[in-house]
Structure 1
Amino acid sequence: MIFYSILVGIGLLCLFLARRNNTDLKTHFLQKQTSSNIPALEAINLASLHKMKLWKKILRALMPAIEMLGQRSGLKITGFIVVMIAVGVYTNDILLKIHTLWLPMLFPIIGCLWAWSWLLKKRRHEFEQNFPDALNIMMSAITAGESIMQSISYVGRTLNNKVGHEFKDMGERLKLGEPPEQVFNRACRHYPYPAFLFFVVTIRANMSRGGQLKAVMARLIRVLVDSRTLEKRKTH
């Protein structure tokens, strides 16, 4: 019984952390402002990564999957854990009749690991499906004469999915005056996939030195669309 109470407590903790993570953008941005320059800030962040506590590392690994659950993620996690406990108890006491605590303990642990892996795979699949559309919209805005910041914001206003929300977040932070390095580094932590990393490198290089942005983006879009088409053919 104590074990079940602990698991429910973990679910409630996830609910608290999920709500805490959904802070207002402007408030979060103002709290993060410091008088130090960007290189010093990056040095502090790099140093803090090595000294990060274990529970923070675990939370950082879990957050992408938690974000996939959307609103009331903590409640969904708690419900899932309770269901897995019930299945474990039923299997242990009714089906197998072995009357041990190991099976009820293993069911929620294995279930949570499976759900975490499944959510990460789903997140990457959704990114691969929606990212080419985001690039196409951004390409159209740039071709129409919009700046990079305006085109990023335009994608956020046009695309109503998680990738679009990420572009919207980037555009709002850039409008508030947050340094592009910080904005793009945060976005790369949310989507640490090769296509997105290459996109960010291309954008940052263009913002600092200029170059043929449209040509590079066109090639990237073509590769991603071909990859998505090939993936759809494999599934059908």
Structure 2
Amino acid sequence: MPTVAPGGTQHGRTNSQRRSEKLYPQTYAERNAAGRWVAGLRRPFRIQHFAELSYHSAMLIRPATPLDAHRIAEIHVASWRAAYRGLMADATLQNLSVERRTQTWSQELAKPTRDNVVIEVDGIVQGWATFGPARDADVPTAAEVTGIYLDPACYHKGLGKALWLEISRILTARQFPLLVVWVLAGNTSARKFYEAMGGQLDADSEKSWTGEGVVLMQVRYRFALPSRGL
């Protein structure tokens, strides 16, 4: 067999190019075929490359672990500062602490009370979501997404859609008929996202939310999940 020194070439292509061709198939159909099964949560779930991502991006959605606590906390703080600017006082947002949230996430991920997943791009966590059975008594058979955030540097790249669709697929597999999410009434960008994902605003669902020393109003969206059939 021919040997090639690290960084060398064989038949006119570098080792790096060969690895890239293997990891990142050329066509969209091949990128879909490159999706793989990952064991996690209560079922394995399929990960695919999305057309919205750049050609050299490998995306993976997986269960969060305690090792992700610091990165999740960084995204949590950065996304709040980006999404809630104008809804919360600047001083409140600046006082958000990555260290405190890392402690909170370390505790949650050590003994999870709900499902927590992260989305990686090229091996770096760029977003996360938390979901489980709904907390509201009026939707006893529903599931609920209690948090979904991306690093602001990754907005408008299809990651939120990929994460949402994967959560919906997992919950459909668990035979939940309905998914709900609460969102700050003034968070217009998040509301547009949920509406684009097919969410319907619940009439008369408004309630107050208290956090970080402020009180804001929330509204609820609901999403019908498809039946798996027999």
TM bucket (normalised to shorter chain) is under 0.3
Rg: which structure is higher?
1
Structure showing the higher strand proportion among its residues: 2
TM-score (norm 1): 0.23
